[in-house]
A and B are shown apart, each in its own frame.
Chain A
Amino acid sequence: MRVPLKYNVRSLLQRKSRTTLTILGIAAVVAVFTAMVGLGQGMAASFAKTGSPDNIVVLQKGAFSLSLSSLSRNSGDVIRYVSHVRKAGDRILASPELVIEPWTTAPGSDKPHFMSARGVSSTFFSVADTVRTVEGASGVGANRVLVGLGAQRKLGGVRVGDTIGMFGEPWQVSGIFEAKGTNLEFEILADLDNLMRAAKRTEYSCYTLKLDSPDVAERAIALLENDRRVLVTAMREQDYYASSAKVYAVVANVGLLVSLIVTLGAVFGGMNTMYTAVAGRMREIGTLRAIGFSRGSILISFLAESLLLSVAGGVIGVALGCFANGLRLSVGVANIRFVVGSGAILGGLALSAVVGVVGGLLPARGAARMTIVEAMRRI
């Protein structure tokens, strides 16, 4: 079956303003869609990777999140000595932590930022093995903090040696750390006792335990939850972050839904363009049929024209959407990066193809169904 593709391309070029407007309309929706998929992937990436498979977190029974959990200091006597916790020499790899969300000021501005701070002891750095200092000193000390890469960006790019404000006290940034792009990078790490004193807290938020292997996690969790001396919930670190990601995922899903509704508008626009294209070219269609092109050829040729329009829009849209890559959106303490990767790009292109097929199918069918005589007679 021959398809007069060259004819379709030339027809598109003939009507420049209409073609341009249709392409731009589709490009705009595809750009928004691509960016939203990117936001969703960024969220998935920041939360899913957070946590090591052999770590479990222990928090107050019934607490919604780490910052809403409180464990008394002496609960550590039970939690630290549960079976299967890994030991490094004499040290038990059980890290007591205070997770708190202070208003934080960066140098040169009074604007408070919503940040998450974690008070940690030296054990933390053996338990949270993804943390690596990229600049400055490692470790925390008296009013000296480590700032994660994400937190650094949120605080307007603070540098080593700068002073930030939390709980009305000055804290010197002694280093910047990365944590393989995980949620931890949104945090500020401070010395546990230091932060507890500044925040006037007397209780820990949670314990993070490093186990002998990922396989014993279930057993350790059961031992902790059934221990009558403490009232705690324990879960794999990865499960904890995956479930808290759900709350954030709502934002990306709403964005995606809105962009899909707007896409339906673009389908209407594309359909409009194709109907007009068919209506204006009745005699041409008749001529094509008369010189031997079959109904199938006509159908495919107009469908191809519609696809060409929409995919051209899709390519531009995806290119625009790529500009969103690396942008950041602050939601609560998190600062989520748009990751416009292959998934978002393919998704955007696929969406534009769907717009083309759905928008072009009915007009193309109309063109193919016409009899030659009918088509030639139209003006």
Chain B
Amino acid sequence: MRFLPLILKSIRRNRRRSLLTIGGIGLSVFVITALLSVEAGFASLFNSTGESTLNVYEKGLACPITSRVFDSYLSTITSVPNVVGATGVLRGLYSYQTKDHLVTVSGVDFEQFRRVKHIVVGEGSDTDFAARGDGALIGRRLASDYGWRVGQTVSLIEDRLTFQVAGIFSSDDKTYEGGVLVHKDYLSRIKRDEGRSTYLIVTVTGPSAIAAASRTIDSALANFPKPTTTQSEKAAKELELMALGEIRQMLSLMLIATIIVSIFGAANSVSMSVRDRTREVGILRSLGLRKSHIMQILIGESALVALIGGGIGLAAAAALLTSAKSLGGMIPLVLPPAYAIAGMGIALAIGLLGAAVPSLNASRLKIVDSLRLVD
């Protein structure tokens, strides 16, 4: 700590280099934090599932949105022991303006749906939604992505599905916050898909009842025209995300590549700053400073520069994430405190690792050699 004034002075003395290094590390931390946040978004989708909730899908299908089960199954399901309630959701995949702006529309029986999913209508009102046949509630994330307001009429490409925005909602199930809720009979009329749902949501008395209830439901429906796969909501979502394939692995690879690039950059910049100051190191040594002191000064400088850069990168990432909120409405972008700390930790690690070798070399140099050296 007593070397802090010296460290600050040397950072300020070569302002241009410090700024460039700070900029480089800032960019890296920005990218790293943004990638981490996408990863956190994926994770938040799993973690927001109901603990005593089951999903019933058509058996054997990998792509959940292509599943179709009959609404008539609901009466069979509600007679299964430990089942509290059940409702069907008809999902449709649509796009807004261009084909790459996906919108997931869920047709629900709102009264029933509210009993299994916690929905809080912020702007607008749920009575307006109930009153209008073509009303819609828009998930908080999707609304901010596409800038949809209460009272607006929105038209999607496929089926020219049109709805009136009656309210903006938030939910503790983050998957719905990226989509649209409409009345199920309205959606099934447009899709000409009446009497069927994409999946059924079933609530049971508690987490311990999940396994037995799933088995009972599947065996009760085994001889119906479409057999089902019933599993906990969490397991169903994990499979759903598996369908996204190796995108997550690609993100982690890019994360690693970014970190490697930053370490090269930081190591380079520190080694240059050390090299420039070889004579200075000689003078400091001849004044009586130990090798360990030299290490402290050089590594301290690098760590401080890295932390400043990291802080700026983190701030920029946080600003971007709060303004973007989500990736295409699908994946929420959040920055949990643990990830912010991880971002700073990575910055610090870049600074320390980059400084390690050059400072070790500088501290090992003989005083005579370092004083004699002319670059």
Contacts and interface: CB of A to CB of B under 8 A. Distances in A.
A269 B24 contact: yes
Given A168-B60, A275-B17, A261 B27 contact: yes
B250 A62 contact: no
Contacts of B31: 258, 261-262
Contacts of B258: 258, 262
B244 A331 contact: yes
Contact of B93 (A68, A101, A280): A68
Contacts of A262: 27-28, 31, 257-258, 261
A64 B244 contact: no
A305 B91 CA distance: 59
B252 interface: no
A273 B244 contact: no
A199 B59 CA distance: 8
A331 B254 contact: no
A268 interface: yes
A114 B243 contact: yes
Interface string B213-242: 000000000000111000000000000001
A76 interface: no
Contacts of B265: 25, 265-266, 268-269, 272
B61 to A, nearest CB: 6
A124 to B, nearest CB: 20
Interface centre among B20, B30, B92 (most CB of A within 10 A): B20
Given A28-B260, A61-B159, A101 B99 contact: no
Given A18-B275, A28-B264, A100-B66, A258 B254 contact: yes
A18 B247 contact: no
Interface in A255-273: 255, 258-259, 261-262, 264-266, 268-269, 271-273
B328 interface: yes
Contact of A247 (B20, B100, B247): B100
Given A200-B225, A247-B100, A265-B28, A101 B35 contact: no
A167 B60 contact: yes
Contact of A100 (B61, B159, B260, B275): B61
Interface residues of A, number: 61
B65 A103 contact: no
A1 B94 CA distance: 63
Contact of A103 (B62, B95, B225, B226): B62
A103 B20 contact: no
B246 A331 contact: yes
A25 B354 CA distance: 12
Nearest to B63: A101
B327 to A, nearest CB: 8
Contact of A101 (B17, B27, B66, B227): B66
B11 to A, nearest CB: 14
Contact of B328 (A29, A115, A250, A331): A250
A83 interface: no
B102 interface: yes
A255 B250 contact: yes
Interface string A7-46: 0000000000110011011001101100000000000000
A113 B358 CA distance: 49
Contact of A25 (B93, B161, B250, B261): B261
Contacts of A244: 99
A255 B254 contact: yes
Interface centre among B92, B258, B271, B328 (most CB of A within 10 A): B258
A143 to B, nearest CB: 15
A233 to B, nearest CB: 9
A167 B59 contact: yes
Contact of A261 (B30, B161, B242, B358): B30
A113 B242 CA distance: 9
Given A25-B268, A265-B28, A275-B16, A103 B244 contact: no
Contacts of B97: none
A273 to B, nearest CB: 6
B245 A330 contact: yes
Nearest to A363: B16
A25 B264 contact: yes
A32 B62 contact: no
A276 interface: yes
Given A247-B100, A272-B21, A265 B27 contact: yes
B254 A272 contact: no
Contact of A68 (B28, B59, B65): B65
Interface string A45-69: 0000000000000000111110110
B132 interface: no
A280 B261 contact: no
Contacts of A115: 62
Given A25-B268, A272-B268, A103 B261 contact: no
B59 to A, nearest CB: 7
B268 A273 contact: yes
Contacts of A249: 100
Nearest to B22: A268
A62 B244 CA distance: 23
Interface in A209-262: 231, 243-244, 246-247, 249-251, 255, 258-259, 261-262
Interface in A109-126: 112-115
B269 interface: yes
A28 B257 contact: yes
Contact of B60 (A199, A271, A279): A199
A27 to B, nearest CB: 9
A102 B16 CA distance: 58
Contacts of B271: 17-18, 21
A29 B292 CA distance: 35
A169 to B, nearest CB: 9
Q: Give the top 3 A-B pairs by smallest Cβ distance, nearest first.
A: A62-B159, A25-B264, A330-B245
Given A32-B254, A168-B60, A261-B30, 5 more contacts: A18-B271, A64-B93, A265-B265, A272-B269, A273-B272
6 contacts: A64-B158, A200-B58, A265-B23, A269-B264, A273-B272, A330-B245
